[in-house]
Structure 1
Amino acid sequence: MARPYVTAIVVAHDGGRWLGETLQALAGQSRRPDRVAGVDNGSRDGSADLLVQTLGRGNLISLPRSTGFGESVAAALERMPSAGPDEWIWLLHDDCAPDRRALEALLVAAQYHPKAAVLGPKLRDWLDRRRLLEVGVTVGRTGRRDTGLEPREFDQGQHDGTHDVLSVSTAGMLIRRDVWEQVGGLDPFFPLFRDDLDLCWRVRNAGHQVLNVTAAVAWHAEAAARRRRRITVSGDHPRRLDRRNAIFVVMANLPFGAMLWALLRNVVGSAFRTLLFVVSKQPANALDEMVAMASILVHPLRLLRARRARRPPGNRQSRKKAYIRIRRLMTPRGAAWRRLTDMVQSFLAGQAPVDSAGRHHHSTAEEEEHELPPPDTGAVKRFLSRPGVVLLLALTAVSLAAERSLLGGERLGGGALVPVTGDAGDLWAFYTEGFHDVGLGSSAWAPPYVAVLAALSTLALGKTWLAVSVLLLGSVPLAGASAYLATRHVIPAVPARAWAAGTYALLPVATGAIAAGRLGTAVVFVLLPLYASFGTVLLSGERRRARRAAWGLGLLLAVGTAFVPLVYPLFAVLGVLAALAFGGVRRGVVTSMVIALAVPVVLLLPWLASLVADPGRILLEAGLHDPALADPVLAPESLLALSPGGPGLPPFWVTAGLVTAALAALLMRRQRMIVAIGWGIALYGMLAAILVSRVTVEGARVWPGVPLAFAGTGLLVLVGLTAHRLAELRAGGGLRRLGATAVVAVAFSTPLLAAGFWVANGVRGPLVGDAPDVLPALAASYSKNGERTLVIKGSAFTVLHARTPLIGEAELPADPDARARVRAAAQGLAGGRGGDAATLAQHGIAMVAVAPPVSAELAKRLDSQPSLQRMSLSDAGGLWRLTEPVKRVPAQPESALHTPWLWMQGALVLVAALLAAPGRRPSEGVESSSAALAGA
């Protein structure tokens, strides 16, 4: 072969850890370069001295630390004039050591493929010399880098050969100098990351080939991509820079039509990745994702100039053919689904979401493991086979089967749940207004849980019914998921975790809350495992993480208190006891607990002040308070079976397996402290349930669902933590084996019996999917100028305006004197004693509606009243209009504190969320939770 001229360029930047081996490999090449230049970008670790010792001072170029790789190569080529038409440039990183015959193999391949202008070696890992890194690189339309290799794939010759690829790495890249100058070299806009992809894409657009030659081998440390050295070429974070460059390369090189579609996919994909990062407590990565996408969107002219510079030569038909050739080398379209499922799978597994380069954010130690990868069974199959996913799908299927009578209805309501109407805008307006023109009018603070529902409804595209349905009807799978995730660092055995989460989700508290429409209990039931998880981290003693957990716990505790105020005193007692127990041995525990308990008080201060004025309301929860929803007397066996009474509950023997397993734990000689703590929490919850169930507030017994949920949590964690002892007993043989097997079988009977009973009987309670409209349509059509309607149902009454009340409106306290006068007038009309119609008219009431069924006797009484005129009477109810002139009730001025407090409340929520959500490593939770558990 004719001997081509080779110019080798080595670029170094704080690479002394690898540079010596790289230079030794360069000097030992079987086909040596004709000239060599070294470029040092302000290294501070002696890299410049190594270059001088090996290459000579005349062959060293020193540049500032902020110089990018492309600028470094360009500076070296400016000092070395072209050696003729057959000159090749060989680019080497300071952390890339080529094999002895690497350059020779690249040149041989160039001879056999005259159209090839760029050739790259097969790259292996620097530490594990058997592991493959690259045999060519391609990219998808979302900018995701794809090597086509399996995770940790070993080189066994399975990819050998010379292949036509979209791109090769600049680590070991061999490129013709005339082609380099033709396409303009590496774009300085990419100081690091994706500069090789952009260069190779432009080379292919110019009509040349890009080849990967596996006969040439190089070992690459990927020091910049793996964060093994400080990046100083840009002010951006490395991941942010990588993601920005990835999107920009695709947007700049695709045809216009394909670019628009790819832009839309990138915007949606970035939003989804940002959400995953936020939910997995990685706000730094979420910020990088948002900033990277924003940097593309806010500089359209920069993108336009780049597209103009990269436009392939020739007419439209030739450009189309060039793109078709490139499209065949890009990531197939079907891979998008696999990437999406991998991201969700990584999140559910507690790992960091995959970045744009296809890498998880692992530590260096994890990257340096030398283990064979497990066989790839497919992303979807792996995702669906995870225990947590199986549990979630099973609970969802059970819930859908049991709630079959509630699905597909027009309006969810009944029991404690007001028929769901309105949208997110209506809820926001109700929460922010100072005077509520509902019922008899009220200037009291709106219940704070209305803001939570309004926020969730906003996320649900304004659909309040969807947000309420997910929270209430989906509380069983949501509780199972939260329990499974919350116990991942507390209960080490996966089967025990799945059993505990499934059993918790199907406790009688959950099915009873759904049947009675108790939205507040359903929300707290989902949050309770998270309280336990945050509390464990708070007690860990690691100050920084404990403070973040305290802020997060405070926010979630504020949400639970907004729905069920009883949650706060129940948790406060446990929090004070924990602070007293751990405060003397672990620094900062008392301060963290004070933060967790203070956040709900500060956020809910005005509303909580109204509860202090009427202490009985602390025992109530969100929704209506119907006396028929709670049992007058709670039987002892119900308490022991964690059954709070009311409609929709299974028999006591359904949960007998859980209690039996917890009692069996008392017989164990080991882990007595865990057994004592678990039973202590359980007895605490049962005692609280006994106390609150004997209290009557607003004519209704208090439902002890939340205290029994506390008790159930204590028993489940107790059994889950002692499950490994049962496995040890089963391995021992004899009577111990028989007894342990019996306990396991009894324990597993609880979720199975609960699910079977619930599916077989369905939701048995007042909650229905087609709740009737409380206000008759005729009354709504005649309600003008703020006129009100008195609705009578049995011995109860309510005052409505031109619509069915929103969630939370029925809980506003009214003027007791006005309510007493209206009640007396309503009872007089219904009893035939002659009601005071003038009193109704004074309060703006223009119509009297009777909910079905309307008895003939009641209709006759109302017809006999001279102040009433019948408008309609049917099976759907009756409606009468007052003949008295109705007084318009003026709106009352709102409190001067109302609007400023709403702004302050929003700012406090934002500050608390920011303090609670700094990034963390996935391993931190294991260490701290294990430490807290060991301390307990």
Structure 2
Amino acid sequence: MFPRVTAVLVARHGGDRLRHTLDAVRAQGRRPDALVIVLTKPEGDAREIAASAGATHLVESNEALSFGEAVRAGERVLEPPADEADALWLLAEDSAPEPDVLEALLATLVNGRSIAVAGPKLVRWDAPDRLVGLGRTMTRLGRSVPVVPEELDQGQHDDQSDVLGLDPAGLLVRHQVWQALDGFDPALPVVDDGLDLGVRARLAGHRVVVVPQARMRFARDGIAGPQAGDRASSRRRTDRLARAAALHRRLAYAPAAAVPLHWLTFLPLALLRSVVALLGKRPGAIPGEFAAAFATMFGGMRVPRSRRVLASAKTTGWSAVAPLRLQPDEARRRREAAAEERRIRARGRTDDVAFIGTGGGWVLLVSAVASVVLFSWLLGAGGVGGGGLLPLSNGLAELWRNAAYGWRDIGAGFVGAADPFAGLLAVLGSITFWAPSVALVGVWLLALPAAALGAWFAASRLTERGWVRALAAVVWMLAPMFLTALADGRPGAVLAHVLLGWLAFAMLGAARSWSAAATASLLFAAVIAVAPSLTPALLLGWIVALATSGRAAVRFAWLPVPALALALPLVFGQVSRGTPLGLLADPGLPVGSTAPTPWELALGLPQAGWGGWPDAVASIPALAGLDARTLALVLSGLLVPLLLVALGAFFARGIRTVLLAVVTAIAGFATAFAATLLSVATAGSESVAIWAGAGLSLAWLGVLVAVVVGADALRRFRGWVVAVLTVCAVVAVMPTLGALATGSAVVGPAAERSVPAYVVAEADADPRVTTLRMQPLADGSLRATLVHGLGETLDDQSTLAQTRTELTDDEREIADIAGNLASRSGFDADAAVSEYGISFVLLATVTDDTDAIAERARVALDGNAALTPVGDTDYGTLWRFVDAEPDAAAAQIPADTGWAGAVITGVQLLVLLVTLLLSIPTGAGREVDRRPQRAARARRTKREAAAPPEPGEQASGLETDTGSEPDAVDEREADPERGTEPNAEVGPELAEPEASGPEATDPELTGPEVTEPERTGPEASDPEITEPAAEPSAPDRSSPESDSRVEPEAGPTDRPDAGEAPDAR
């Protein structure tokens, strides 16, 4: 008896692919005995094509069924199989078999009685010489992989036979076996349905084979299996479904005792795989990991049903499956091949910085020598002081405590948010953990080289010319506001200037690299931490980047998140008490300055005084008669060459970069000008304006970008340009350079403490020893503060305290105590000891204009019987309370500052950890280069050709076009999230939604004239089925192509193997 073959064809879209598939079925040398067409939520002309196909049965559902559900609906209308050789041939609208496919598959089934499932070789629809599928297998850890990768079909795999599973399209399965196995698992609607069927067939004692001689074109439209494509959102959804399928199979295949253990590992594994995804620069995969884990863990009765079906048909052990798994050696070979493919893909398109070849080494050497010359007096120092500088806390535990939400050890202390600046100080202090204050010495010594290198690397994103990069480094390193910040001891402004160059470097590469984008996020947060006044301008830049970066906007979306996580507690604290402008206050110790004029601001000078030139000129007899206006004109003239080169950028190619430079300069100058008008912090009785230098650094960065573009466009006089600009830059800041080199600047070496040695010795035994420090002021008042341990530190400063508009009750009480101690009032000092644990009183060193108030306070303190004089010290005159108690309870930090601190700190650390993992480079080729190819410049003239090449230029005379925006996003390039796991199936968003599981409603079945009988639930009776009257003529071939999509060729995969769960067996 000849076996009966029923073809079940599932369709949805219609169009030419459905017509070609039907034509291919009719052209079979051995035609199927019956044809069942199942329409799932048909679109377009699918109904018309199906109705004219001469099908034995036509089934239609108004639901978007999965392939397995659709086949189940079609199989339901058939008679039970009469013979064990009867078979079902499963087809989709996009699977067109060659004429001998069914004959070859059926012969395989007939000749091999143990063979229950046979499948064809799948090739691309639009490129039949490319393999799509030749069976599927799984690794020892249960991950689904193709038997052979997608590659050119040269018959190299035609000896393949037994496989573990098959792709569902084109599969020929014995009808009785299909019924015994209960078809495809409804819990696997898209991915791994064919693999799972093959595994269950193997465990039931049958064989599953692929027949390479039977070729079928397959378009992968998403009817059977995942849809092919290249959109990131589609790949993410397919990856999620693949992960969910793997987890489901793990629970379905595992021994009963191991199921709870596997279930408990799903969330930890999702977390681990998320870390791997971050390291692999695939942050978009993280939501899918957790979604797959939760969907499988709480999938209702899907897993019990799958286990029940598997157990009912199982006749052999897992040893029948083991030989067909992907062997470890082969898995390792594939990983190595994928790594080599990444290296090949990365070859020729990596960032050609050429640090040594384009003069980067010389820039580093010169800047290092300049730093040693200017700061030689800091070599060997244990700390740096003056201006806004203070020592750092002496222990790492205290450093990091001050960086977290909790107790703010200022004055009497309070619970509140930490300044993000404290976190950056904790990082710096941890580098020199043996003496954290040495880190500030390192900042001053390395500031010039770090700034120069940041500008050099940022310029490398815009030009390949070594002399232009070096010019950018010099101009940035000698910026007036930067050197002024170094001379005045402003750590926040110094770090802001250094970090802005590196932020520009990272931002210019963020469009094509997750690593650069995450690094930019960290630098963005650091810049806002050290210079909060730049927040509005930087947020404006972020919005512009989002709006102009096209597909790369997903990389920029995360940019402000770390900064927001660090600053949000502080934002809440300032806004809730009605001082939102306090968020713009400079962090650290408040330092006042005289506001500059607009002319001085335009010259890059952050404070009044014309950069020290009046004093410098006055010391030279021949120039002593120059007035301020003349000096201003001279300084303006020194900047003219720089501005002329910057204006030349408007005549170069790459107007987008020039506009970015202009916007940056304007935003920076506006920030600096606004800063001179805002006083949000106080130091004693004086208000302190926001320092304008941070805004000027941003404006200088915009000018620098324009200078780089303009200089890069020059073809002549390059040597003169470099010489003139360098000389002008040095001359403009000569007074500041002189002050730094001679040690006459405000900043200077300092000890690692800010209290007398006697108090330091006491702090060894009592770390919380408390000192009442009284500072006489010029207006006749005293400024009283409480300091603990070794004294005030830079990391325990708080803008919450500095921007308060009213005194707290504790501050009033401390002021009363200080005022009574400094006058002969008969004040009982017991309250000072009992309420605040004060052990010492320090009358700080005085100046000439505070002698009177200091002398009056000294006499009163000497006459107070509760105090014992200790003596004069470098920090002032010291007294000790007679009744002072060691380890006074009032001086201790509260043990419990509330649960909010732990939660806030945990969230902040999580955000920073995610960003840090994403910023770590993981090797070339893992991310697609989005840069358009740079075109060669036009041939140079004879005069240019005769001149020797400049350092860093190409010897051939062909120069890279930097005016074509090398960092601009090319919309035609691959999506930013490209990159998939090696050996994993790649496919985009599926056309149909996920199946609803074994309890899904059965489809409605009709004949050619569709009727929809009323349904009452999953167990409703089968609907009416009608037979078509006769086979109609072939469809009109002249109809327009309704579905002529050409699928892109699947590229090589490049994701690392993620952590997998233990083998489900």
2:701 to 699, 713, 719: 713
Counterpart of 2:271 in structure 1 is 268
Deviations 1:403-453 (A, max 9, x none): 9xxxxxxx999946743755899569845x8xx6x3333669756648988
TM-superposed CA distance for 1:172, in Å, is 0.9
1:566 match: secondary structure: helix
- Asked whether the 8 Å contact 1:479–1:505 carries over to 2, the reply is no
1:782 to 1:482, Cα distance in 2 relative to 1, 3 A: closer
1:76 match: secondary structure: helix
Distance 1:505 1:159 in 2: 63
1:810 to 1:485, Cα distance in 2 relative to 1, 3 A: same
Is 1:136–2:135 an aligned residue pair? yes
Is 1:439–2:427 an aligned residue pair? no
Deviations 1:616-639 (A, max 9, x none): x788522235799x99xx999995
How many residue pairs align between the two structures? Answer: 751
- Asked whether the 8 Å contact 1:161–1:215 carries over to 2, the reply is no
Aligned ranges 1:486-885 → 2 under 5 Å:
518=491, 522=495, 563-568=530-535, 604=571, 607=574, 620-625=585-590, 663-667=644-648, 670-671=651-652, 678=661, 681-682=664-665, 685=668, 698=683, 705-719=693-707, 726=713, 736=715, 739=717, 779=763, 782=766, 788-790=770-772, 799-800=786-787, 807-811=795-799, 812-813=801-802, 840-841=832-833, 844-848=836-840, 867=866, 882-884=881-883
- Asked whether the 8 Å contact 2:642–2:707 carries over to 1, the reply is yes
CA RMSD of aligned residues (A): 7.5
1:71 to 1:820, Cα distance in 2 relative to 1, 3 A: closer
Deviations 1:792-839 (A, max 9, x none): 99999963458987945555246676666677799999xxxx999668
Counterpart of 1:303 in structure 2 is 303
Is 1:86–2:93 an aligned residue pair? no
Report the residue type matching 1:134 in the other structure: G
1:193 to 187, 191, 197: 191
Mean Cα deviation higher: 219-228 or 474-483: 474-483
Greater helix content: 1
1:871 to 1:71, Cα distance in 2 relative to 1, 3 A: farther
1:122 match: secondary structure: strand
Distance 1:334 1:479 in 2: 45
Counterpart of 1:37 in structure 2 is 36
Aligned ranges 1:899-914 → 2 under 5 Å:
none
Report the residue type matching 1:48 in the other structure: R
Distance 1:300 1:744 in 2: 73
1:684 to 1:43, Cα distance in 2 relative to 1, 3 A: closer
TM-superposed CA distance for 1:91, in Å, is 0.8
Distance 1:744 1:174 in 2: 76
Report the residue type matching 2:587 in the other structure: A
1:48 match: secondary structure: helix
- Asked whether the 8 Å contact 1:520–1:623 carries over to 2, the reply is no
- Asked whether the 8 Å contact 1:678–1:718 carries over to 2, the reply is yes
1:310 match: secondary structure: helix
Point out where structure 2 has 5 or more consecutive residues left out of the alignment: 230-235, 372-381, 429-435, 511-519, 549-563, 613-638, 727-740, 778-782, 844-858, 893-899, 912-927, 933-964, 972-1065
1:605 to 1:667, Cα distance in 2 relative to 1, 3 A: same
Deviations 1:706-763 (A, max 9, x none): 234313431343256558x63xx7xxxxxx3x65699899999xxxxxxxxxxxx9xx
Point out where structure 1 has 5 or more consecutive residues left out of the alignment: 230-235, 343-375, 404-410, 458-464, 538-552, 583-597, 647-657, 730-735, 749-760, 852-860, 892-898, 911-920
Distance 1:670 1:423 in 2: 55
- Asked whether the 8 Å contact 2:676–2:689 carries over to 1, the reply is yes
Report the residue type matching 2:290 in the other structure: M
Distance 1:484 1:572 in 2: 24
Distance 1:325 1:6 in 2: 28
- Asked whether the 8 Å contact 1:99–1:217 carries over to 2, the reply is yes
Report the residue type matching 1:41 in the other structure: T
Distance 2:773 2:344 in 1: 54
Distance 1:170 1:879 in 2: 88
Report the residue type matching 2:836 in the other structure: G
2:651 match: secondary structure: coil
Distance 2:121 2:710 in 1: 52
TM-superposed CA distance for 1:20, in Å, is 0.8
Report the residue type matching 1:882 in the other structure: F
TM-superposed CA distance for 1:24, in Å, is 0.6
Distance 1:879 1:122 in 2: 92
Distance 2:105 2:117 in 1: 10
Distance 2:889 2:707 in 1: 62
Distance 2:839 2:690 in 1: 34
TM-superposed CA distance for 1:186, in Å, is 0.7
2:38 match: secondary structure: strand
1:35 to 1:456, Cα distance in 2 relative to 1, 3 A: farther
Query: Relative CO higher for 1 or 2, CA cutoff 8 Å, sep ≥ 6?
Result: 2
Distance 2:470 2:159 in 1: 53
Report the residue type matching 1:88 in the other structure: A
Counterpart of 1:294 in structure 2 is 294
Report the residue type matching 2:190 in the other structure: L
Counterpart of 1:356 in structure 2 is none
Report the residue type matching 2:173 in the other structure: I
TM-superposed CA distance for 1:326, in Å, is 3.0
TM-superposed CA distance for 1:193, in Å, is 2.8
Counterpart of 2:351 in structure 1 is 387
Counterpart of 1:204 in structure 2 is 202
TM-superposed CA distance for 1:171, in Å, is 0.8
Distance 1:263 1:828 in 2: 71
Is 1:28–2:27 an aligned residue pair? yes
- Asked whether the 8 Å contact 2:203–2:321 carries over to 1, the reply is yes
Distance 2:724 2:148 in 1: 47
Counterpart of 1:215 in structure 2 is 213
Distance 2:496 2:451 in 1: 9
Counterpart of 1:49 in structure 2 is 48
2:53 match: secondary structure: helix
TM-superposed CA distance for 1:244, in Å, is 2.5
Counterpart of 1:368 in structure 2 is none
Percent of residue pairs identical: 24
Distance 2:139 2:453 in 1: 33
- Asked whether the 8 Å contact 2:493–2:693 carries over to 1, the reply is no
1:715 to 1:295, Cα distance in 2 relative to 1, 3 A: same
Is 1:14–2:13 an aligned residue pair? yes
1:90 match: secondary structure: strand
Counterpart of 1:249 in structure 2 is 249
- Asked whether the 8 Å contact 2:453–2:473 carries over to 1, the reply is no
Distance 2:144 2:453 in 1: 32
Report the residue type matching 1:440 in the other structure: G
TM-superposed CA distance for 1:127, in Å, is 3.2
- Asked whether the 8 Å contact 2:499–2:527 carries over to 1, the reply is no
Counterpart of 1:587 in structure 2 is none
Report the residue type matching 1:200 in the other structure: G
- Asked whether the 8 Å contact 1:679–1:715 carries over to 2, the reply is yes
Counterpart of 2:1063 in structure 1 is none
Report the residue type matching 2:410 in the other structure: G
2:331 match: secondary structure: coil
Is 1:62–2:63 an aligned residue pair? no
Counterpart of 2:780 in structure 1 is none
1:554 to 1:118, Cα distance in 2 relative to 1, 3 A: closer
- Asked whether the 8 Å contact 1:779–1:847 carries over to 2, the reply is no
Deviations 1:767-792 (A, max 9, x none): 99x978999696486578xx844579
Deviations 1:113-154 (A, max 9, x none): 664432322222223444332232344578765336667x44
- Asked whether the 8 Å contact 2:139–2:327 carries over to 1, the reply is no
Counterpart of 1:913 in structure 2 is none
Distance 2:585 2:672 in 1: 13
- Asked whether the 8 Å contact 1:138–1:330 carries over to 2, the reply is no
